[in-house]
Amino acid sequence: MTTKRMTRIALCAALLAPCAWLSIPTQPPFTMQTFAVFFILSALGGKQGTVTILVYIALGAVGVPVFSQFGAGPGVLLGNTGGYILGFLAMGLTYWGITVLLGDTRKIRFLGLLLGLAVLYAFGTAWFLLLYTRTQGSIGILPVLGWCVFPFVIPDLVKLGLALALERRLGKVLSASDLKMLYTMFDYLALPAEVILLLTTWCIEETERKYGPGRKPRMSQLKKEAFVWRRLGVDTPEAADAHVRALSALRSREARLLPLLGISGRVPVEGERKYINAWIEMGFDDETIALAYEKTVLKKGSLNWPYMNSILRNWHQKGLHTRQQVEAGDSAWPKDRPAKALAAQGPGAQPTGKAVERLKEDMDWMDRFLEQTGGKE
C-alpha cells in the first residue's frame, strides 16, 4: 500500500470520529456516522473504504474516544449497540463485494450502499436482540425495530441520497467541517433534501458564472445561501423552484443592464449587484436606468454608483419610472435644452445677456495675454 493511500485512509478514519460525536438531541439521537461511511466508501472504493472502517473500529477498541458520545473501549463494542458499530464493517464488506462482482458504476455503487445499509441494520439489530435477551429477558422483534431501526432508516436513506448527489455535483470528498455544515442544513435548518440539491445546483451555476466553467462552490457558500433561503421561507421544493426561477430572471435582467452601464467582460460584484437589484425592485425599466447612467456620467465623468442611486431613488420617490415620466415630471429635468434653444434662434443668432458679458471678458483676457507675450502689435 502506497503512502498516499495510507494517508487517505488515516484522514478518512479521523473523519468518522467527529461525525460520531455530532448528534441531534432527539430521542433517539441522530449522528452523522452513517453519512460519513457513505462518503468514505464512495470516495475510496470498497477495499480502502473497508480498511478505513476497520482502522476506526480498532482505534475505538484500544481506548481512543472515537465512538458516539466520546465512547471507547471493548465495552462499547460488546454492548447492546456495539453491533451497529461492527455493522459498519459488514456494510463495507458488502459494498466491496458488490462492486467487485457487478462492476464499479454509479448505479452499482448506489446498490452496494443500499444493500450495505440493510446489512448494517440486520447485523446490529440481531446483535442487540441477542444481548438484550441474555441480559434483560425475552423481547419481540418489533419493539427492537422500533427502538433501533425505524427512527433511523429514513434519515439514513436520505443521507445516502444526499451523499451520492453531492459527491457527483461538487466533485470532492467532504471534510468533517463540510459534513457538519451539510448536517446543519438538513437537520438544524430543516431543509428537505430536494431543497438542498436545488440550492447546490444554483450555487454551482453562480460560481461558474462568476469564476468560469468547472469551478465549484465551497460548502461554506452553500451554508450561507441555505440560511438566506430559510430566512426567506424557501423551505419546500415548490418554493425553492419558484425562488430559483426568480433568481434566474434577475440574473438575465442584470446581464442586459450591464452593457447599458458600460460594464463588459465581467460579472458585477456583490455591492454593484445590490444596487442593480434595488433598482429592479423599484420598478425601473432598462431605458430609465440607462438615462440615470447618462446623467451620472455627465455629472461625474464616469459611473458613480451612489450618485446614480440617488438619482433613481429621487425618481422613485416621485413615482417616475419611465423616461416619459421623468421628462414630464422631474423639475430638475431641463425643459429647454441649450441645443434646442440655439436651433430655435437660427444659425445666425447672436448671444445675449450674460453670454455677451462672458464673451467680452474672454476677449479682454486674450488681448492682455497677447500683449504680455508680444503676440500683438
**Domains of the chain, first to last:** 3-171 (1.10.1760.20), 189-258 (no CATH), 268-345 (1.10.10)
| pLDDT of residue 374 exceeding 60 | no
Grouping H, G, I as helix, E, B as strand and the rest as coil, residue 176 is helix
Among 152, 124, 214, 227, which Cα is nearest to 185's? Answer: 227
Residues near 262 by beta carbon (within 8 Å), at least 6 away in sequence = 293, 297, 303
Q: For residue 363, what pLDDT is reported?
A: 59
Owner of C-alpha cell 438538513: 186
| pLDDT of residue 353 exceeding 70 | no
Among 94, 9, 108, which Cα is nearest to 49's? Answer: 9
What pLDDT band is residue 232 in, cutting at 50, 70 and 90?
Answer: very high
Report phi then psi at 31, rounded to 5. Answer: -125, 175
**Cell numbers representing residue 171 in the block:** 466533485
Secondary structure letter of residue 188 according to DSSP: I
**Cell numbers representing residue 135 in the block:** 441480559
Beta bridge partners of 82: none
| pLDDT of residue 305 exceeding 90 | yes
The mean pLDDT value of the chain amounts to 81
Q: How far apart are CA 128 and CA 79, in angstroms?
A: 8
Please tell me the pTM assigned to this model: 0.58
**What Å distances lie between residue 1 and 6, 53, 179, 375, CA to CA?**
7, 16, 28, 93
Out of 108-112, 134-138, 175-179, 339-343, least confident range: 339-343
Q: What percent of the chain has a predicted confidence (pLDDT) above 90?
A: 35
**What Å distances lie between residue 182 and 127, 136, 297, 359, CA to CA?**
31, 39, 46, 73
Q: For residue 25, what pLDDT is reported?
A: 46
Residues near 82 by beta carbon (within 8 Å), at least 6 away in sequence = 76, 127
Grouping H, G, I as helix, E, B as strand and the rest as coil, residue 256 is helix
Among 223, 235, 225, 216, which Cα is nearest to 177's? Answer: 223
Amino acid at 83: G
Q: Average pLDDT in the 74-84 region? A: 85
Residue 96 has a CB neighbour count (10 Å cut-off) of 20
**Residue-by-residue DSSP string for 306-351:** HHHHHHHHHHHHTT--SHHHHHHH-TTS-SS-HHHHHHHH-TT---
Q: 17 or 338: whose pLDDT is higher?
A: 17
What pLDDT band is residue 203 in, cutting at 50, 70 and 90?
Answer: very high
Q: 139 or 252: whose pLDDT is higher?
A: 252
Say if residues 222 and 233 touch (Cβ distance below 8 Å): no
Q: Average pLDDT in the 83-96 region? A: 92
Out of 108-117, 229-238, 284-293, least confident range: 108-117
